[in-house]
Amino acid sequence: MAATNYRKCLSALALFLFSIHSSAAVLPEERADTMYHSYSGGGVTIDGPSVLVRKNIGNKVSLSANYYVDMISGASIDVQATASPYSEQRDEYSLGAEYLVDKTTMSLSYTNSSEDDYQAETVGFGISQDFFGDLSSLSMRVSLGSDDVMRNGDEDFLAQAEHRRYSIGWSQILTTKLIAELSVETVADEGFLNNPYRSVRYLDPNSGTGFSYQAELYPTTRNSDAVALRAKYHLPYRAAIKSEYRRYADSWGISSDNLEFRYTHPLEAENLILEGKLRFYKQTGADFYSDLFPYLDATNFRARDKELSDFTSTAIGIGASYLLPERWALFDRKNTVNLYWDYVLFDYDDFHDVRVHTGSGDYLPGDEPAYHFNAHVVRLFWSMWF
């Protein structure tokens, strides 16, 4: 539970790599992927394996199963300030099915995530339809999640959270070289939505550092909306450029802008595909966030999670996919080896590094340097087509 934000980031990267985006009238390709993922940054290391298998039954049904593991160790800046280093493991199991009828594809998914102090289940249903000679595609999806939140060392603590997610997307082939997609998503969260271990700090003249800590307290509801516009352009020399802009806003006062570019360049003679990525992200903080509250119980709701503050991040990434020669391929099938690396820089405008306090009074509360760190994300996976 303590590394929820890091896990969300890494899971999203893995899902991006393992997702097979096909048109609504075509089933996903049969294949198996085995991946090792690693995140290292901000005092935290997260790594583990993941296995995904897709298998078709006839020409109308596709089944998939995924096993994903996060092994977390270390201590983020929040933990270093108020607790001790920790280690934990999260296991996630996912099952999916797609059913193809003419130009309509219906999908059903189930995900179960389990760790010592957090249990989550999510069920999703989606439908997509091709129109206008397969030049247009409309997709809709809904998912319902139910979480049990616990706290290690406190057997009496048990809280619940519910999540409802709705999305709709329109994909359009504009020219022989340009594809565009517009998607809208809305999410409604309800229940216990904060981390039971996290604390805020407030001014306390009786403390040696000039401040003390108390538990965070979040609202029990959160509504968010996001709009994304994506495009893919095929260049004359067979390379491709992908771009995405995403705007997000929620009822907590957070808003963000995300801009991403990807460049893909195949080298057919070498059986190699190269990729580069550049991503910019900017966020405004929650209404009830503060790095330093003026006194104990200063507001009805309070947070000091740096992911709810004003911050920016920049990511650069490179990757390669190598098609193995037939003499090296397993089971005489198409095999690829893929390696991706991202370097991410995080800069927080209003989250200060309290670790500088040594008791000597070098810094006054609130005057500490702003926190920043960088992270490395590595994904190495092998894919085999049936």
Decide if 172 is inside a domain.
no
- In tens, the pLDDT along 7-19 reads 444 444 444 444 4
Q: What is the pLDDT of residue 19?
A: 42
Decide if 134 is inside a domain.
no
Across the chain, where does the E strand assignment appear? 31-41, 44-57, 61-74, 86-101, 104-115, 118-131, 136-151, 154-173, 178-191, 199-203, 211-215, 221-234, 240-250, 255-267, 272-284, 311-323, 335-352, 370-385
Decide if 222 is inside a domain.
yes
* Six-digit token string for 175: 């020219």
Decide if 51 is inside a domain.
yes
- Where is average pLDDT lowest: 11-15, 53-57, 83-87, 238-242? 11-15
Nearby residues of 12 by Cβ (< 8 Å), 6 or more positions away: none
d(CA 137, CA 169): 8
**Number of domains present in the structure of the chain:** 1
- Where is average pLDDT lowest: 33-42, 126-135, 297-306, 310-319? 126-135
What is each CA distance from 58 to 63, 109, 277, 331, 361, in whole angstroms? 11, 20, 37, 22, 72
What is each CA distance from 173 to 23, 137, 162, 235, 289, in whole angstroms? 11, 9, 37, 15, 43
- Residue 306's CB is within 10 A of a number of other CB atoms, namely 23
Span 95-113, mean pLDDT? Answer: 95
Q: Cα 373 vs. chain centroid, distance in angstroms?
A: 18
Instruction: Quote the mean pLDDT of the chain.
Output: 90
Decide if 133 is inside a domain.
no
Checking if the pLDDT of 209 tops 90, the result is no
Decide if 125 is inside a domain.
no
Checking if the pLDDT of 129 tops 80, the result is yes
Q: What is the pLDDT of residue 81?
A: 77
- In tens, the pLDDT along 169-204 reads 999 999 999 999 999 999 999 999 999 999 999 999
Q: What is the pLDDT of residue 358?
A: 66
Nearby residues of 347 by Cβ (< 8 Å), 6 or more positions away: 311, 312, 313, 370, 372
Decide if 239 is inside a domain.
yes
Q: What is the pLDDT of residue 360?
A: 55
Q: What is the pLDDT of residue 9?
A: 46
- Dihedral, 247, 250, 253, 259 alpha carbons, nearest 10: -20
Q: What is the pLDDT of residue 377?
A: 97
Checking if the pLDDT of 92 tops 70, the result is yes
- At which residue do the structure tokens 């926190």 appear? 371
Q: Provide the domain limits for residue 312.
A: 4-92+194-385
Q: What is the pLDDT of residue 270?
A: 84
Q: What is the pLDDT of residue 84?
A: 67
Decide if 109 is inside a domain.
no
Give the CA diameter of the chain. 73
- At which residue do the structure tokens 């067979």 appear? 238
Q: What is the pLDDT of residue 21?
A: 41
**Residue 51, strand partner residues:** 34, 67
* Six-digit token string for 336: 């690829």
